[in-house]
Structure formats: C-alpha cells, structure tokens
Amino acid sequence: MITTAPDDKKRPRGVYTNKKKPTGTRIYLTPSALNSRPQYAVLWTSPPAWRPKCPRTQCSRWIVSAAADPLKREGQRSTPDATLARITAKTGLVPYKDAVSQRPKPYPPCVERFLNQSRRAMSLKTLLLLAAAHLALADSSHALFYKVVDRETAQRIASIKGLAAAGNDTPVFNDQGFWFSHFTVGASSDLEILIDTGSSDAILNPGIYKPSPGSVNANRRFRISYATTNPDGSGTLTASGNVYQDVITQLAANLSVAKQTLGDIQDPTSPPTFPRDGLIGYASQQGSALRGSPFINSLCDQGALSACRFGLALRPDKTGALYYGTVAADAFTGPLTTVPLTQGEWAVQGDVTVDGRPVQRGASIITDSGTTVVFGPTRHVAAVFAQAGVQAVPTSSGIAGYYNCSAAPAMGFSFGGANFDILPEALAFARSGDNCTAAVHGSDAFGDNWLVGQAFFQGRYIDHNVDDGTMGFADLK
C-alpha cells in the first residue's frame, strides 16, 4: 500500500533563495462562474532559465545528491563566509567538491554537464544558492481552484462518496463546492478534474477522453457503484466503461505519468456524471476499481518526486494549492503536527473537541478532500452538539445541527496534542438569516468512523506522506 521511499529520502528539505519562490498558478473565480464554465485569471512565475534541461526523473534527484549532504551528521563546515554558513545550516547543502569526495558514484551525463559548467562559471557561494533553489523547484507546487456548483451538480458529485442513508429528508446542504485542478489526459487538453483523496482512480466523464497516439486499450471494462451523500440522503451512481493507459499531465506542475491507468465512462446511469470533466483519486491502490496505480503513486514510482508525498493548502477564500514532493513550510504557521496512518490512506486517530476539550478520545478519522462536510457517528455528533450548544434536529439519515451565526461554536479535532477547530466560515454550511446549518452531520453510514471533508480542510495545510505512512496538520498563514 505504501510505496518504497527513494534512497535519497533523508536529504534536507529545500528552501527558496534569492526570493525566487516558484509561486505556481493561482486561479480566481468570478461571480459569473457560478453554474457556468468558470472565468478566471492566471498568474504564473516561470522557473529560472538556468533550470537544467535533462530528464527530471534523473536530475532532480541526482543533482541534489551531488550537491547535498547533512552537515550535522558529518560535522563539516563548507566555508567561513557568514551568509553561506547560514544557507548551509538551513539547507544542509555542501559544495560539489566535498559531496563528490564522499559519494564517488558516477552521475548521469546531464548532471555532470550541469555541475561542471556550474563549477567553471560560478563561485561556490553562487553554486550553493543555485542548488538550494533547484532543490526547491524540483518539489513542484500548483494551484487548485474552487468551483461553486448548483444543488443538482452537488448531488451528482456527492453520490460518489460512499455515504448511504435510509429514506428521504429535507435537504439542508446547499451551495456546495469542490476542488479542481487542470490536467491533460491523452489528447484531451486543459481538463478540469476534481481532486479527491477519498478515492484512487482517474475517471473521465462520457465524451471527454480522446486517446493519444500512445494510448493502450487494456481490453477490459470496469463498473463502479457508489452510495450517495446527496442532501436528501438518496440516490446512487453506477457507471461502466473501458480501461485505458495513457499520459496524464498535471498542467501547472508539469508532472506527467506516461502510462496512467484511467477509466472512460461510457454507460452512466443517474446521476450521470461527475462535475466538470472527471475525478482523480489520491488514495491507495487498494481502493482502485481499475486495478491500477493511483496518479500520485505512479509519479513516485517513476522518480518524478523528490519525496513521495503531497500537501493540500485550501483556503476559505476559495483559492488553494497542491504541493508535490515537499512540505511547503512557508505556507503555514507553527509546527507540522504529524501522526501515523491507521487503517489506511488517509485515516488517522485523533480526538473530537469542543472549545479545545475532548468530547470523544481516540476517534477513527478518515480525511477526504472530495467530501464537502464532516460526518460522524450519530451518538458522538449528538454529544458534540450538546457540548457546543448546537441544536440537534433528527433527519432520516441521522442528525443535523443549527446554531446562531453570530456565535459559532468551536468544534474541531486534535492530533498529537494540537487542536484544530473548524473555521467559523467553513462551519456555516448554509445560512438563513441568523440561523446557520453546521457542516457537521450525524450519520451511522460509516460505523464508528468520522469522515472529515472540506469543512475541516479549509484554512489547513494537510501533508500526505506516502513514504512514511503519516499525515501532518498545520494552520495556514
């Protein structure tokens, strides 16, 4: 389930130098984007021109190996220069001549050319700055965009999330939104695909997929059936289609998998499709209906990432970023609280809190970026509501909660002793005058598990470390 860590896994984390931070793409929706193809503005800072032009699967790892070695472990000093010493202490990088004497293993020709040219043309200080910046750039980040959708579309996407409830109840979930990013799949360009850490496969809506010349038909079909999380607690999605292998590229990050397993829906039922163009899963291979490697695992297996991990930074202002291969320490405040996975990706153990005090200890918590709200066992949600002063209202699927919008309760989760409350603007899932509907719902559809979705993700940096089998949590700046 957890992929093998690369052999340079323990090298120091990169930092940005000379203010050459690769800001990536940030996409802002306009009000006219509601229920239509979004209008957006794109801001992009290109990588510096000196970035080595050779296969990133080799260079990103080997250049770092050639230029880096932990100073504390070796007890070395690279130069008395004060500025260089500060950089060295922060990055752990040492000059090439020291590193190569410790690691005589030959490097690929493209790396040798880069290092040789750098040695001739630059001082050691400049080379060190260059190596640190390259290390940072090798850990790609790119932006997501948050699309507000209408109720019908929200119901369609909710149906893939595996939530089942008996009967019908009055809808209390509205104005729901989901996180997307831009991909190319095969010959289909600039697709808007939902980012989902609760599933494993890349699946495209009918008529979206156009095979590239290198496409491979797996000559087998898939069939998916999911229970629903529609606001009325009913509905199913069943779809089938063909399995292919084709190139998938994350556009802003410029990360590609040449032969990624994907599903092309051809026979949908009601509700017919995912919102926009499809869905891409970031959970483990065990959950794959296509019997293929998830996109993130494929990137790791081919050596495209410096570490097999990704981070989500989703903000209440409907902007966000997805970071590959690194921990974006400049995006959050305080330490990153790290906890081990329990039953699978991405499930951890933590406490459910009100005003920072535990109401349920040792809860099983499944995080899912593709779920809009937070679901918990009915009896535990009732206890949380009672402690928080939230009015609990029975529904056919469990309980919903209502509170005065001007006095939002502090409900959240604690991991490793660090408490994280759901932000007030994220907790208010719906408003009617002074009355707010809580984005926390009681349902026994998941047994004793909590399903923690976007209401908790907003305002958080959440690290997903496949290498170590851990998750990390921190508040965004």
pTM: 0.66
Domain C-terminal end among 288, 323, 358: 323
End-to-end Cα spacing for the chain = 33
Task: Verify that 317 and 374 share a domain, yes or no.
Answer: no
Supply the pLDDT for residue 177.
63
Domain assignment present for 120: no
For residue 10, pLDDT over 50 is answered with no
Mean pLDDT calculated for residue range 127-141: 39
Task: For residue 292, give the amino acid letter.
Answer: G
363 with 390, same domain? yes
pLDDT at residue 146 is higher than 50: no
Q: What is the pLDDT of residue 359?
A: 98
What pLDDT was estimated at residue 248? 96
> Could you tell me if 316 and 345 lie in one domain?
no
Least confident of 163-172, 206-215, 436-445: 163-172
| Statement: residue 363 has pLDDT above 50 | yes
Of the two residues 137 and 411, the one the predictor is more confident about is 411
Query: Which range among 24-28, 295-299, 320-324, 374-378 shows the weakest confidence by mean pLDDT?
Result: 24-28
Retrieve residue 291's tokens.
Answer: 């019997």
Q: Which of 323, 353, 373 is the last residue of a domain?
A: 323
Q: Are residues 303 and 372 in the same domain?
A: no
Is the pLDDT higher at 224 or at 135?
224
Domain of residue 452 covers 328-476
- Residue 158 sits in the same domain as residue 275: yes
Split into its structural domains, the chain has a count of: 2
**Would you say residue 347 lies in a domain?**
yes
pLDDT given for residue 286 in this prediction: 83
Tens of pLDDT, residue by residue over 271-288, are: 666 778 888 999 988 888
| pLDDT recorded at residue 225 | 65
Question: Does the pLDDT of residue 89 top 60, yes or no?
Answer: no
Tell me which of 323, 348, 381 is where a domain ends. Answer: 323
Whether 229 and 299 share a structural domain: yes
Q: Comparing 96 with 31, which gets the higher pLDDT?
A: 96
Query: What mean pLDDT value characterizes the chain?
Result: 69
Question: Does the pLDDT of residue 3 top 80, yes or no?
Answer: no
